[in-house]
Amino acid sequence: MNSKIESLGMSTGKVIYSCDDCENIHRLKVATTMDLFKSSGVLLFRGFGVTHEQMKTFAERFSSRFIQDYGRPQVDSDKFVHFVDAGMDNSSFHREHGYSPFCPDVIWFCCAVPAAQGGETTFCDGVRVWEELSEETKQLFISKKLKFCYEVQADILRRFTGLDGTITDIKQVLDSLEGVNYQIKENESISIEYICSAVVKTKYGHDDAFANSILTLDYGEATLEDDSIVPDEIIGEIEKVTDKLMEKIPWQAGDLVMIDNSRFMHGRKEFNDNRRQIFSTLSNLNF
Ligand SMILES: [Fe+2]
């Protein structure tokens, strides 16, 4: 890769700048990009003028399958690219779909229009978060898993799994998943209880990473697996550590970002500009 590469803030992440002979992102070498992603976990491609269509075709080179999101407007015919600007509030750190057994390996973002002020995507390295948490907190999350309880329609699970099957097919998938208990109600509404560790092994390196959705309330408050509430002081400690390790992506039009969802949590700073346009797609990786 002839491109100029710099560190992204104080993180292991990297910024890859376009150069004269590689202004088209599709000219970047796939193997080199894979190696860089494995070692750094967050890549920001700047100056390539990436559109959401190009994000999808570029992501295809690295992906075994895409995962449809829901609750967000889809902007492509395959329904795999989403417009992410629901609301303008601050978004707490989370692992994308960390409440769900259908957690993507990577989240891709691209920026068509940045907010005039604020609206940065934030990220923090779950490996470093785990290193910095106190021994007492680590012991709590080693001894007890997290529990997420929520209800989804079968159609949403069809999108996640990519299976356009019957309810029996969905049952088979759910039965095969670790940590999942479920109840199918009328109208194909499925109540799901998902138990997973707050500490996961990174896809590359197999290191312990504190990567989960404990700080977001989108799918109800996460409890510990014995139904006890995570103590406020523990949440406070996590917020303090993640704030300290927070890195920001100050968006420019045409930026593309890929984030390793097995290692990094991400969020967003608030903004007040309804012209902001950020798109995302979720996928599992082929390397
Ligand atoms: Fe997210």
Q: What is the pLDDT of residues 100-134, one digit of tens each?
A: 998 999 999 999 999 999 999 999 999 999 999 99
Q: How far apart are the first and last CA of the chain?
A: 19
With a cut of 90, say whether residue 147 has pLDDT above it: yes
Question: What is the percent of the chain where pLDDT is above 90?
Answer: 77
Q: Are residues 212 and 276 in the same domain?
A: no
Quote the tokens at residue 225. Answer: 């697996």
For residues 25 and 166, the model is more confident at: 25
Q: Are residues 119 and 143 in the same domain?
A: no
Q: Are residues 13 and 77 in the same domain?
A: yes
With a cut of 80, say whether residue 170 has pLDDT above it: yes
Task: Find residue 25's DSSP bridge partners.
Answer: none
Distances (CA, A) of 243 to 207, 262, 279, 286: 21, 19, 25, 32
Q: What's the rounded Cα separation, in Å, for the pair 94 and 213?
A: 5
107 CA distance to ligand 1 middle (Å)? 8
7 CA distance to ligand 1 middle (Å)? 23
Quote the tokens at residue 68. Answer: 């449809």
Q: Are residues 118 and 252 in the same domain?
A: yes
Q: What is the pLDDT of residues 80-105, one digit of tens each?
A: 888 886 689 999 999 999 999 989 99
Quote the tokens at residue 6. Answer: 């710099």
Q: Are residues 122 and 250 in the same domain?
A: yes
91 CA distance to ligand 1 middle (Å)? 8
161 CA distance to ligand 1 middle (Å)? 19
Average pLDDT, stretch 205-231? 90
CA atoms within 13 Å, Cβ hemisphere of 127: 16
96 CA distance to ligand 1 middle (Å)? 5
Under 8 Å between Cβ of 57 and 27: no
For residues 237 and 83, the model is more confident at: 237
268 CA distance to ligand 1 middle (Å)? 8
Instruction: For residue 168, give the nearest of 178, 154, 179 by alpha carbon.
Output: 154
Question: Is residue 33 classed as helix, strand or coil in its secondary structure?
Answer: helix
Banded model confidence at residue 164, pLDDT cuts 50, 70, 90: confident
Q: Are residues 84 and 68 in the same domain?
A: yes
267 CA distance to ligand 1 middle (Å)? 6
2 CA distance to ligand 1 middle (Å)? 31
Single residue among 241, 256, 273 that ends a domain in this structure: 241
Q: Are residues 78 and 187 in the same domain?
A: no
pLDDT of residue 257: 98
User: Tokens 């997290």 appear where?
Assistant: 146
Q: What's the rounded Cα separation, in Å, for the pair 22 and 25?
A: 7
94 CA distance to ligand 1 middle (Å)? 6
Q: Are residues 274 and 219 in the same domain?
A: no
Q: Are residues 234 and 142 in the same domain?
A: yes
76 CA distance to ligand 1 middle (Å)? 19
Domain holding 77: CATH number?
A: 3.60.130.10
With a cut of 80, say whether residue 73 has pLDDT above it: no
Q: Are residues 66 and 164 in the same domain?
A: no
Q: Are residues 175 and 88 in the same domain?
A: no
DSSP string, 72-138: S-B-STTS--EE--S--S-EEEE-TTTTSS---SEEEEEEEE--SSB--EEEEEHHHHHHHS-HHHH
Q: Are residues 119 and 140 in the same domain?
A: no
Domains identified in the chain, total number = 2
pLDDT of residue 85: 63
Q: What's the rounded Cα separation, in Å, for the pair 277 and 164?
A: 31
Single residue among 206, 225, 241 that ends a domain in this structure: 241
Q: Which DSSP state fits 229?
A: B
134 CA distance to ligand 1 middle (Å)? 26
Give me the residues near ligand 1 (ion), CB cutoff below 5 Å. Answer: 96
Residue range of the domain that includes 49: 5-127+245-285
